[in-house]
Structure 1
Amino acid sequence: MHDDTARAILRGNDRTTDGGAYTVPTDMLYPFQWNWDSAFAAWGFSTFDTDRAWRELETLFAAQWADGMVPHMVFHDAAPGYFPGPDVWGAGGEVPTSGISQPPVAATMARLVWEADPEAGRTRMAALYPKLLAWHRWWMETRCGSGAVAVCHPWESGRDNCPDWDVGLAGVDGSGAGDYARRDEAQVDGAQRPTKQEYDRYLALVRFGRDCGWDQATIVADCPFYMADPGMTFILIRAHDDLAAMGRSLGQDVTELEGWAAALRDGVDSLWNPELGAWDAKDLRSGAWAGIVGSGALLCWLAGCERPEMEAHLARMWDAVTYGLPSSDPEAPSFERKRYWRGPVWPQMNALIALGFLRAGRDWDEARLREETATLIETSGFREYFDPIDAAPCGGDSFTWTAAVWLAWAGR
């Protein structure tokens, strides 16, 4: 029954246009195509409609910029009332987009899609491969000057308001944001969303990007928010590994990808905070540490970058809650169990962390995380995220990546 509901959610969130087929994360609240949401949607579709899975990825990459960047939002259709819409971003080509990217999970998800039906997927993957490679090159050439992956906007990390970004956002002046209406607060309890102060600062960063024409050199040099993130670094390392594995199967020379992965494995050492005894985000403008163990740090197993000290953090954070792994340290003063990325548990993050557990041979941890994620969904439905203490449903309902995670992993 849950499988039928999950498939119905994916079909219900399906949007077909002249430019292809894509899913929205959920109707009304997020009415466009989001980058990493689509990658997870493809994984979900691969369990019952392989062609549709590939079309999801192909539609996303049809919006790729000339420099290789794949934007975090693609505005295929008009959605009056959504803020910030394409007029605010002032970016994109034939199809308007946002001006920033999002976690590069697409290669990892594409590998899972291909493995679901290797023969049928070979031609599709061969066509997608150079586009994925160009996106990975964009990350390496524009955002890895510190050795690890940096983001120029909290939205680029996918973990919008997690406490990791507080130290960097403190230096962003949001006083000129003006009046605006947020669709998220009109549809979801404001106590579960980012605050107005955070949103004002997010919009200041969008204005900065728009005013410089989304010139990457200017953004890297002068954007008031610029932070290196272990979570994004671990995701890109794993994506390099997965793209290289697919490249070998396609007969490609993957030396460049292997070199990128090795460089990031060395570079991420710059994000080990010895005082915290954990992977930590760093403000590249001030040099200050975020000083908190977030869910991004728990992706270290995904990239094969685990350290013994992370075992204690994993056990501590997991045992402090009831369901899955929280988006931020439950013992930190900044923890809020229902506010977006400041504490709730997210199904797609559980799935990525679990892929890391499998890579590390931690089968018991993977099984525990899968069972707890399944319990969340069985208890509270296919919600965007959940309270990690009592499983209360949070955020949007009938959510694409929650349905996809159920079909491809949690409901197995």
Structure 2
Amino acid sequence: MTTTDVVTQRAIDVLKANDRGGYTIPTDGLYPYQWNWDSAISALGIAEFDLERAWQEIETLMSGQWASGMVPQILFHNPATGYFPGPETWRCDGPVPSSGISQPPVAVTAARLIWEKNPAQGRDRLNALVPKLRAWIDWYMAWRLDDQGAIFTVHPWESGRDNAPDWDKAMARIDTSGVESYTRQDTKHVNSAHRPTQKDYDLYVWLLQIGRSAQWDDAEIARINPFRVSDPLMTFITLRAVRDFLHISNELGHDTTSLNQYIETLEQGVQTLWNPDISAFDSRDTSSGEFSGSISCGSYLCWYAGVDHPGMRAQLQNALAVSKYPIASYNLNGEAFDPHRYWRGPTWPCMNLLIGLGLAERNVPEEPELRARIRELLATQGFSEYFNPIDGDPAGGKSFSWTAATWLYWARHDT
């Protein structure tokens, strides 16, 4: 067997070990439930060796959709220990015990990509999913669209980038003195120096309490929640999702009403996230209008959304020049850079997968180089949650599903 074959088998083994019968957990212990965008990316990897099981992954995720159209961040299908906050803290009333917030709609794009591997076989599966995917897109446009056309988040966990520097300014203005007593579980599984701080967690739990006090009603949350940050990652992934859903609807003969308008709105919203002071797409506080000043991995998802920008081409070239294992979650020259702490500097292979897909589709010449670097990283360091972008040191959870999926779907292929 070649080295590629060996690493590929290890990746398959990770996904099979994390399979819980219809859904895949990110990793044992640290994340013992089904996470929304983790699951979508895992499905892409699973599709490389079991197409039927990949469809099941998306279907199980959509089984937790609320009547509002929202698809939760976490689905607590079965009891598990060692995780906080669990369903008893969220107190949600969906079809499956869940959290009360969503996550970036990668699953819409995953459904298209999985379907395109065998359109005839997947046609009925995708047709059944179309109404649910449409309802989720409509929910985003109804409840997470700011007045300039960008997508905002009401909780750092909803963005998927929990402790990113993008949220620091907005968080600093929020009084969390009323946060309830709680016990973290994450630091029992991994090094606390690699995780969000206690101050960060207080903010997360405080925002959870606010949502719970509103009984997770979207209109009430919009009225009382003090955290609203428009995010390039959320906006780019939603724009890509709408483009893919429009394609699906055209191909399968479904209603396309409003979809072109959604795309036009989001394309305009994207431009409001360009921060000329840092020459990059940046997060913006919807209350103050202030940019975060953060060049993040989310900034590079423009190509994934079908948006090219010469300024981001320059940023991409710089990212490849300054670290051995780009693209990092946060700019290495940024004031808040930390090569080990979660979304404040480490390289996440799953994000490079999405960035790389966009680069390949837009024929950006740096894509093969980016893929080769991530290929080397995973082949030599394994499938950890994230890595030091400078020396490749693994950090976070081990045997991570979406890292294994990144190898299978993208990184293993020769450049």
Kindly indicate whether residue 216 of structure 2 is the aligned counterpart of residue 211 of structure 1: no
Please list, as runs of the form range in 1=range in 2, the aligned pairs for 1:176-215 lying within 5 A after superposition.
176-215=178-217
Matches within 5 A, 1:10-409: 10-16=15-21, 21-146=22-147, 147-362=149-364, 364-409=365-410
The SS at the match of 2:31 is coil
Among candidates 8, 11, 15, match of residue 3 of structure 1 = 8
Measured after TM superposition, the shift of residue 374 of structure 1 is 1.2
- TM-score relative to the length of structure 1: 0.96
Structure-2 separation of matches of 1:302 and 1:45: 21
- C-alpha distance in structure 1 between counterparts of 2:352 and 2:195, whole Å: 20
**Alpha-carbon distance in structure 2 between the residues aligned to 1:195 and 1:284:** 24
Question: Alignment partner of 2:359: what SS?
Answer: helix
Residue 293 of structure 1 and its aligned partner are, at CA, apart by 1.1
Name the amino acid aligned to 2:17.
G
- 2 CA distance for matches of 1:179 and 1:210? 15
AA partner of residue 342 (structure 2): Y
Query: 2: distance between equivalents of 1:306 and 1:32?
Result: 36
Q: Distance in 2 between matches of 1:93 and 1:360?
A: 39
Do 2:65 and 2:71's aligned partners in 1 also have CA atoms closer than 8 Å? yes
Alignment gaps of 5+ in structure 1: none
CA distance in 1, matches of 2:328, 2:237: 18
Give, as a single letter, the amino acid of the residue that structure 2 aligns with 1:9.
V
Distance 1:240 1:205, change over 3 A: same
C-alpha separation in 1, matches of 2:325 and 2:278: 24
1:320 & 1:2 partners in 2: Cα distance? 27
CA deviations on 1:8-36 (whole Å, 9 max, x unpaired) are 111110112xxxx1010001110000000
Alpha-carbon separation, structure 2, partners of 1:9 and 1:149? 33
Whole-Å separation in 1 of the counterparts to 2:310 and 2:95: 49
2:71 partner letter: V
Following superposition, the deviation at residue 276 of structure 1 comes to: 2.3
Deviations 1:315-351 (A, max 9, x none): 2233111112000011011000110000001111001
CA distance in 1, matches of 2:325, 2:295: 18
Deviation per residue, 1:265-302 (Å, 9 max, x gap) = 01222212222222111111222210121111111111
Kindly state the Cα deviation for residue 155 of structure 1 after the two structures are TM-superposed. 0.6
Q: Partner of 1:97: helix, strand, or coil?
A: coil
Output the CA distance in 2 between the equivalents of 1:177 and 1:374: 43
* Amino acid in the other structure paired with 2:368: A
Q: Could you tell me which amino acid in structure 2 is paired with residue 7 of structure 1?
A: I
**Distance (whole Å) between structure 1 residues aligned to residue 24 and residue 342 of structure 2:** 21
Do the aligned partners of 1:34 and 1:74 also contact (CA within 8 Å) in 2?
yes
Could you report, residue by residue, the CA deviation over 1:201-220 in whole angstroms, capped at 9, with x for unpaired residues? 11000000001111111222
The CA deviation at 1:178 is 4.5
Which ranges in structure 2 are unaligned for 5 or more consecutive residues?
A: 1-5
